[in-house]
Structure 1
Amino acid sequence: MARLTKKQKEALAKIEKGKLYSVDEASALIKDVTNTKFDSSVDIAVRLGVDPRKANQMVRGVVSLPHGTGKDMKVLALVTPDKEAEAKEAGADYVGLDEYLDKIKSGWTDVDVIITMPSVMGKLGPLGRVLGPRGLMPNPKTGTVTMDVAKAVTEVKAGKIDFKVDKTGIVHAAIGKASFSADKIAGNANELLTTLIKLKPTTAKGVYVKSIFMSSTMSPSIAVDPKIG
């Protein structure tokens, strides 16, 4: 086991062992235990009482974080020529179609989100093996397959993220940066958690939100009280 540095020991000492913190407490504490020289991402991991192997217990959705992600999201708009100006004006970083499809076929995936139109999805099908594992395949459920390309681009740039429960029943999401105020971190965390609660499958039995942990890049994790609603 790797030995802890002095800063890591100091950070751990600030977290009370066995305590479940409120979202507000955790959001303030995360700033106190983050010691990186760069602006760390703040992440949240929520363990749900669902069986992701069952289609009717797959939890997936989108949420617009009120204070944004703190990250400049790189957006690729795969659109027909008549939609290119609209996508560029909305702030898409890359706009086009066939030339970007060819780049993706060659292994290029240097973007955070891909937005496209229903008529283009047929061309993206063969690229599923490249885009799927990276979470980049557009999906109507997340608003990334739409005729209103400008709105979709604007929302992503403003802090809209999508999330999906993984095979172990955990939802991971980045909810901001350590440079955010504690209030902004808490606001984003509460927005995500509220959205998750609304998405509880009717077939899920027992405790839905089993555990919540908040952490930043290289920081120890903070246990958050899962009794949030």
Structure 2
Amino acid sequence: MKHSKRYLESAQKVDPAKAYSVDEAVQLLKSFKSTKFDETVEIAFHLGVDPKKPDQAVRGTLSLPKGIGRTLRVVVFAEGEVAAKAKAAGAVEAGGQELIDRVAGGWMDFDVAIATPAMMRQVGRLGRVLGPKGLMPSPKSGTVTDDVEAAVREFSAGKLEYRADAGGNVHAPVGKKSFAPEDLKANIEAFIERIRQTKPASAKGRYILGVSVSTSMGPGIRLAVS
């Protein structure tokens, strides 16, 4: 893969053999040359878990203290008055079978999907569409609920759903490059602490095998995290 000149210039500032403190990593990120858009700052964890084992699944939700720098697009699978309340709360779309058919047909212009428990039998048919993208509503993540108004407000404001993939990796945004250094630091530290808190009881040995942060178009920076 051929990298851009900007990427290579940024990579020269990073020592791949070094694990940086959060403060050092944030300063490095801020020193990278800017692109024409405000890049997302992302965090990546490699965890010592076996996601194939149900008791070692790592997943949850988190509202970062400084937000993620954008409003998430939320859809709600609900009917009647509940759908109307979801729209009023900020959902980009809300509805029943008509919305299900639209998504089944390929419309995916949203970041979060929420459903009422009563709709899950029908929504379950979208598993092949939503599942691979991590968008399937789930009670564990708070996206299957009767209180759709509160859920829409929380997720629109940037509440994140995270989960370890088949390789034990977790990826998520933690802000924008334009954020103040102290705000990026607060978000990064909050995410690390949440991952620590969600260590499965059955996971043996080292849990956090590696953590790195990067901008959308920049190199990864390893963090010193035990």
- 1:78 equivalent in structure 2: 77
Runs of 4+ in structure 1 deviating by more than 4 angstroms, as ranges, are none
Larger displacement relative to structure 2 (169-178 or 31-40): 31-40
- 1:181 equivalent in structure 2: 180
* TM-superposition CA deviations, 1:53-93 (whole Å, max 9, x none): 11111111111111111122111111121212321221111
- 2:94 equivalent in structure 1: 95
Q: Report if aligned partners of 1:70, 1:177 keep a CA contact under 8 Å in 2.
A: yes
CA distance in 1, matches of 2:36, 2:187: 23
Q: Report if aligned partners of 1:34, 1:219 keep a CA contact under 8 Å in 2.
A: no
Residue 34 of structure 1, CA deviation: 4.7
Residue 18 of structure 1, CA deviation: 1.8
Q: Report if aligned partners of 1:34, 1:178 keep a CA contact under 8 Å in 2.
A: no
- 1:45 equivalent in structure 2: 44
Q: Structure 2 matches for 1:194-209, cutoff 5 A?
A: 194-209=193-208
The AA in structure 2 aligned to 1:44 is I
Q: Report if aligned partners of 2:51, 2:58 keep a CA contact under 8 Å in 1.
A: yes
Q: Report if aligned partners of 1:11, 1:34 keep a CA contact under 8 Å in 2.
A: yes
- 1:156 equivalent in structure 2: 155
CA distance in 2, matches of 1:116, 1:7: 43
- 2:104 equivalent in structure 1: 105
The AA in structure 2 aligned to 1:190 is E
Larger displacement relative to structure 2 (95-104 or 28-37): 28-37
The AA in structure 1 aligned to 2:132 is P
Q: Report if aligned partners of 2:164, 2:170 keep a CA contact under 8 Å in 1.
A: yes
Of all paired residues, the percent bearing the same amino acid is 44
CA distance in 1, matches of 2:16, 2:119: 52
What TM-score results when the alignment is normalised by the length of structure 1? 0.93
Could you tell me which runs of 5 or more consecutive residues in structure 1 were left unpaired when the two chains were aligned.
Answer: none
Residue 5 of structure 1, CA deviation: 4.5
- 1:170 equivalent in structure 2: 169
Counting matched residue pairs gives 226
Residue 174 of structure 1, CA deviation: 1.1
CA distance in 2, matches of 1:124, 1:6: 46
Q: Structure 2 matches for 1:95-134, cutoff 5 A?
A: 95-134=94-133
Q: Secondary structure at the match of 1:76?
A: strand
The answer to whether structure 1 residue 211 and structure 2 residue 210 are counterparts is: yes
Larger displacement relative to structure 2 (217-226 or 87-96): 87-96
Q: Secondary structure at the match of 1:212?
A: strand
* TM-superposition CA deviations, 1:36-65 (whole Å, max 9, x none): 211111111111111111111111111111
- 2:14 equivalent in structure 1: 15
Q: Report if aligned partners of 2:6, 2:33 keep a CA contact under 8 Å in 1.
A: no
CA distance in 1, matches of 2:196, 2:21: 16
Q: Secondary structure at the match of 1:211?
A: strand
Change (3 A) 1:105 1:35: same
Q: Secondary structure at the match of 2:20?
A: coil
What TM-score results when the alignment is normalised by the length of structure 2? 0.95
